[in-house]
Amino acid sequence: MPILSLVTFLPLLGAVIIMITGGDEATKAKNARSIALWTSLIVFFLSLQLWFGFDAESPEFQFVERVEWIPSFNIAYHMGIDGISLFFVLLSTFLTPICVLASWESVQYRVKEYMIAFLVLETMMVGTFCALDFVLFYMFFEGVLIPMFLIIGVWGGPRRVYSAFKFFLYTLLGSVLMLLAILAIFWQTGSTDIPTALQFAFEPGLQRWLWLAFFASFAVKMPMWPVHTWLPDAHVEAPTAGSVILAGVLLKMGGYGFVRFSLPMFPLASEYFADFVFTLSVIAVIYTSLVALAQTDMKKLIAYSSVAHMGFVTLGIFVANQEGLQGAMFQMLSHGVVSGALFLIVGVVYDRLHTRDIDRYGGLADNMPKYAVVFMVMMLAAVGLPGTSGFIGEFLVLVGAFQVSTWFTALAATGLILGAAYMLYLYRRVVFGTITRDDVRVMPDLSWREIVVFAPIVFLVLWMGIYPSSFLKPMQPALANLVERVEAAQRAALADAPSTLASR
């Protein structure tokens, strides 16, 4: 059974079904919601089969499907996952039903189109992580932008058009350079097959150019400082579920790209540019943490905190040792879940009071105790308290980074302090204190639907914190393989270096 294709394209089928359902406005909305929910749930349970059936000992691509597509150019429909992509697929399929459920009541305008957009988005996300052919990958990778652009631009806040365009142009600009690099790779290897390109030894000079082209695309997606300014705007204007997917999955595409492409294909360039990346990462951690401290808008604060957390990820990826890479991967998964949850948490109070202004709240612990508990757990995960998912990633990244550079590690570790400062400060202003306003006092606690949304996330955050082996194990062989190859390439280059000097 072609399970990968099934997981990838089933949401699209759901979208088609929603499209052809008729009836009056209310029935259409009702049907669209339940079809979207059921489709995404079925996809999630199907995708769990990938985890159960995954051979955790093997670094190879699994569940591989390959059909010739345009044979004259060596382009194929080639899908497969390894330990690096497995959990990103699961993250996408996990968050989509949660998003559908979170939009159940808050979206009342053009529900049908909204649900279609989310299901199409799911197909694109899963496809991005499964594609093993550059053409396919590029189609999915860019395809993500369209539904996301619409979600922000149609269902967003007052400045949605500005934000949607900023988001679209920024990410597209980066991607165009990547397209050029993909063409160059095609000319070099004679194929668009990703596994082939991963084995190919590119010339050192060419590596740098290609690395930079890929970097342009992934750094924007990540986003890294200083190309991060689209993110706060996009988050603020996006509807809650849009923010969840944006923070939860879309940002991870940048990190996935670095691990999947930049590091194995361009090991020498990765080493050459490592200090550059470290510098940007550390700036991201400190700079955006400080900016987060000064925010008065809840969503902006969390958006900036995302940039800081992604700083840890890029640091971990380019230290390119086992601890750092596993930490970076884990940090991405953890951040996907936690920041998604934090945006949902903002969404809960936004649905009730229709403002994200922190000062409008305060004292919610009194009338919303369940909400306070969920918020507390997520806040602790965000500050990386041991026992939650956030700790494992940050800790491993820093352990790995310390072996490469104590300076960058010490500077990045200040993020532990600053992160605690802005999150605790946010929590205090929203949840603690006394209630001074009447409209805040009458806000009801979490509804059953909202509890159903949060329960799996809380469970997952604790599971990842207490028994992370379930997640670390399957990614280990693929990453070990990657580290080995990067080191081998760097050793070979070192061995070559004296001889090239001599030949001059």
Partner 1 sequence: MAVIVVFAPLIAAAIAGFFGRLIGDRGAQLVTCGAMILSAVLAVILFVDVAILGNDRPTLSLFTWIDAGDLVVDWALRLDTLSVVMMATVSVCSAAIHVYSVGYMSHDPSIPRFQSYLSFFTFFMLMLVTSDNFVQLFFGWEGVGLCSYLLIGFWYDRPSANAASIKAFIVNRVGDFGFALGIFAVYMMFGSLQFDAVFNEAPNAAKETLEFLGIEWDALTIACILLFIGAMGKSAQLPLHTWLPDAMEGPTPVSALIHAATMVTAGVFMVCRLSPIFEYAPDALAVVVLVGATTALFAATVGVTQTDIKRVIAYSTCSQLGYMFFAAGVSAYGAAMFHLMTHAFFKALLFLGSGSVIHAMSGEQDMRKMGGLWRLIPITYGLMWIGSLALAGIPIFAGYYSKDMILESAWAAHSGVGQYAFWLGIFAAFLTAFYSWRLLFLTFHGEPRADHETMHHVHESPKVMLIPLYVLAFGAVFAGMAGYHYFVGEGRAEFWRQSLLVLPENDAIEHAHHGLPFFVPLLPFVVAIAGIAVAYLCYMARPGLPAEIAGRFRGLYQFLLNKWYFDELYDRIFVRSAFRLGYGFWKGGDGAIIDGLGPDGLAAATVGAARRASRLQTGYIYHYAFAIVVGVVVFVTWYLLRSAG
**By the criterion CB under 8 A, which residues form the site for partner 1?**
166, 169-170, 226-227, 229-230, 232, 287, 290-295, 321-323, 326-327, 363, 365-366, 380, 385-387, 391-392, 395-396, 398-400, 402-403, 406-407, 409-410, 413-414, 416-418, 420-421, 424-425, 428, 431-434, 466-469, 472-473, 476
**DSSP-based three-state secondary structure for 58:** coil
Measured between alpha carbons, how far is 265 from 495 in angstroms, rounded to an integer? 19
- The two tokens of residue 441 are 């006092």
Nearer to partner 1, 204 or 433 (CB): 433
Is 143:131 a contact under the CB 8 Å cutoff? no
Nearer to partner 1, 114 or 422 (CB): 422
Instruction: Please report how close the Cβ of residue 179 comes to partner 1 at its closest, in angstroms.
Output: 20
Instruction: Please report how close the Cβ of residue 175 comes to partner 1 at its closest, in angstroms.
Output: 16
Nearer to partner 1, 29 or 298 (CB): 298
Instruction: Please report how close the Cβ of residue 234 comes to partner 1 at its closest, in angstroms.
Output: 12
Q: How many CA atoms lie within 13 A of 302 on its CB side?
A: 31
**DSSP-based three-state secondary structure for 67:** strand
Residue 17 Cα distances to 31, 66, 466, angstroms: 10, 27, 41
Instruction: Please report how close the Cβ of residue 174 comes to partner 1 at its closest, in angstroms.
Output: 12
Nearer to partner 1, 398 or 440 (CB): 398
Nearer to partner 1, 127 or 393 (CB): 393
Alpha-helical segments (H) within 295-388: 298-319, 322-353, 364-367, 369-382
Measured between alpha carbons, how far is 412 from 282 in angstroms, rounded to an integer? 5
Residue of 34, 39, 51 lying closest to 11 (CA atoms): 39
Instruction: Please report how close the Cβ of residue 294 comes to partner 1 at its closest, in angstroms.
Output: 4
Instruction: Please report how close the Cβ of residue 414 comes to partner 1 at its closest, in angstroms.
Output: 7
28 C-beta neighbours (distance < 10 Å), count:
17
Measured between alpha carbons, how far is 412 from 392 in angstroms, rounded to an integer? 15
- The two tokens of residue 98 are 């949660």
Instruction: Please report how close the Cβ of residue 370 comes to partner 1 at its closest, in angstroms.
Output: 10
- The two tokens of residue 57 are 């000992």
Nearer to partner 1, 229 or 279 (CB): 229
In sequence order, what are the beta bridge partners of 164? none
Nearer to partner 1, 127 or 419 (CB): 419
